[in-house]
Amino acid sequence: MRIALIDYGAGNLHSAGKALMRALDEIGVTGHVVLGADPDEVARADRIVLPGDGAFRDCRDHLAAIDGLEEALHAQVRVRGRPFLGICVGMQLLADLGEERGETAGLGWIPGRVVALDPQSPGLVSRHLKVPHMGWNTLEARRAHPVLDGLTLGPAGLHAYFLHSFHLLPAHATDLLATADYGGPVSAIVGRDTIVGTQFHPEKSQRLGLKLLANFLKWAP
């Protein structure tokens, strides 16, 4: 299996690459991770992973600055149906629009907007929870999907690691696979067609993250 891990200057590539290799071992599949942004390498990939750290607008600009990359991604994912995973801002870029630092057009692969978190702490204490949302949270499934197979979710389930100030609000409820609770529901996993995205970092999420990556690599949509 050939996995393209997109290096466009905006992601935690070392940790993501190691986690993907561990997931390959977990499912007993021979493969390798190709790190870079060469459109020809993207065209040869069986799986594509787009990480992202930082601001939506900056990541969008970095992606657009690489000649031929967006076209190769569109051809592989939207036309040929290669499985795609977006991580953190890489997931947010799937939306139509991001509101961070003004409105910026996204890839438009999952209809919706990326909006600022505005969490309210529960109980009687009248204060906002801290933003960015940083730390560990359990997940609540919203609908079944192969990437969720075998994951222990719910209040007593496994934890995922988050670090973000914005999240993607899908226009269609069917595109929301799982949420986290941070003073209200936060979009944790989205999915449509051969595309999935996680707001949390699976490469830092220990058992849950490794299982999700393994499910992604086994997924045959």
Residues annotated as part of the active site: 88, 201, 203
Q: In Å, what is the CA distance from 29 to each residue of 22, 32, 67, 88, 89?
A: 10, 10, 32, 26, 28
Q: 3-state DSSP: the chain helix, strand, coil percent, rounded to 5? A: 30, 30, 40
Query: How far apart are alpha carbons 209 and 216 in whole angstroms?
Result: 10
* Backbone φ and ψ of 17, nearest 5°: -65, -45
Q: Are the CB atoms for 85 and 209 separated by under 8 Å?
A: no
The H or E element that residue 196 is part of is: strand 195-198
- Tokens at 95, concatenated: 């939306």
Please state at what angle helix 206-218 crosses helix 13-27, rounded to 10 degrees: 70
Q: Are the CB atoms for 214 and 22 separated by under 8 Å?
A: no
